[in-house]
Amino acid sequence: MSIVMTGGGTGGHLAIVRAVKEVLVREPGAGSREQNGASQSDANNHSSLIYIGSTKGQDREWFEDDKDFTAKYFFETEGVVNQRGIGKLRSLWKMFHAVRQARKLLKQHDAKVVFSVGGFSAAATAIAAKTMRIPLVIHEQNAALGSLNRLLKPYAEVFISSYLEESPIKAYPVKEVFFDNARIRDKVETVIFLGGSQGARAINELALSLASELKERGIKIIHQAGVNNIEAVEKAYAELGIEAEVFGFTTKLADYMKEADFAVARAGASTLWELAATALPTLFIPYPYAASDHQYYNAKFLVEKELAWLMRENEIDKEKVLALLDEDLSVKSRGLMAVVEKDGSQQIAQLLQKYINR
């Protein structure tokens, strides 16, 4: 018997898989730490965790060496929606072949439930599950539904979204450390700029344009500039005579958020809910080219509850940003503590485990 986890391509999707997986392997009977390549008889003698993703995107980087999964498989699939002509036909042929592969694997591992986080990586396995009448549980990370999740939503046994009132689980899978680090902010002593590990030019430029004023106010700067921008941004701060903590990728993000009193960030789902769990008031500047403009709608969800601020890249106003630092942040900070539920990963893991225990 097995729980099959599928989907990914990007870190936003894969972070959900990892968060839920980490809970499942701590639960008795929920997962196995065997090496990839376990035999069919082994897979059928106990409940196990199987991962199915794609050779494209970040799936392999995240999970190829992850021993929490009994087995991992990566299909040669690619996105279909944005393809045209021959490219679309090629993508559809790869998908058809991957669905056949997925059906064989679901049968081989006696899959009792398929947990999909969306993205093109999930399509083949999710479709295979429905053709085999295996329960499909979908987690949608964003306020604007992804193409695949929107298509499969009517066919899912359970559809989970922190933005939908009808969702049976509202809590977003956020690591406990972010909740542990939550505190009420009132005075701004540290500002963190978060452009993601790849950086965001608009946020980098805003940070540098505000740097001198922040220094005059005695405000410390923490800046995730992106792995390819560190040298240039550090040089720019040095020329301004300003000390700032600049980094690209980091494993200390929770610590940095804990230290900060105000954030300027993109609005990817994981980042948004981590900031909310930390009770950190944030100005969101969404990535303008995100699919279905989902980062804008993610941020809008909190803005409509008066728990965050939102500016499009073409609306960035330095003076308006500085004015936010003078607002009473404690109201938003307390509100964020109330809007974010704990134990999202635990609730999803328990839901999936029920299919094994039937």
Which region holds residue 17: left if phi is over 0, alpha if psi is between -120 and 50, else beta?
alpha
pLDDT in tens, 176-216: 899 999 999 989 999 999 998 777 999 999 999 999 999 99
Rounded distance between C-alpha atoms, residue 113 and residue 136, angstroms: 6
DSSP assignment of 52-70: EEESSTTHHHHHTT-TTSS
Mean pLDDT value of segment 321-337? 96
**pLDDT-derived band at 94, boundaries 50, 70, 90:** confident
Percent of the chain with pLDDT over 90: 78
Q: Domain ranges for the chain, please list them.
A: 2-174+343-357, 177-339
Residue 51: which of 39, 68, 38 has the closest Cα?
Answer: 68
pLDDT exceeds cutoff 90 at 129: yes
Residue 88 tokens, joined: 């679309």
Same-fold call for 2-174+343-357 versus 177-339: yes
Judge if pTM exceeds 0.95. no
Residue 66 tokens, joined: 């992850």
Enumerate residues 6+ apart whose C-beta is below 8 A from 101.
Answer: 73, 75, 124
Rounded distance between C-alpha atoms, residue 26 and residue 31, angstroms: 8
DSSP assignment of 227-240: TTTHHHHHHHHHHH
Give residue 249's pLDDT.
86
As its CATH architecture, domain 2-174+343-357 has 3-Layer(aba) Sandwich (3.40)
Per this entry, what is the length of the chain? 358
From residue 153, give the alpha-carbon distance in Å to each of 130, 147, 222, 279, 300. Answer: 12, 10, 40, 31, 22
Give residue 85's pLDDT.
65
pLDDT exceeds cutoff 80 at 86: no
Give residue 12's pLDDT.
84
Q: What are phi and psi of 242, to 5 degrees?
A: -120, 135
Rounded distance between C-alpha atoms, residue 311 and residue 330, angstroms: 21
Residue 76 tokens, joined: 């040669």
Topology of the domain covering 177-339: Rossmann fold (3.40.50)
pLDDT exceeds cutoff 90 at 167: yes
Name residue, tokens 């490219």. Answer: 87
Mean of the per-residue pLDDT values of the chain = 90
Q: Are strands 282-284 and 262-265 parallel, antiparallel or unpaired?
A: parallel
pLDDT exceeds cutoff 70 at 107: yes
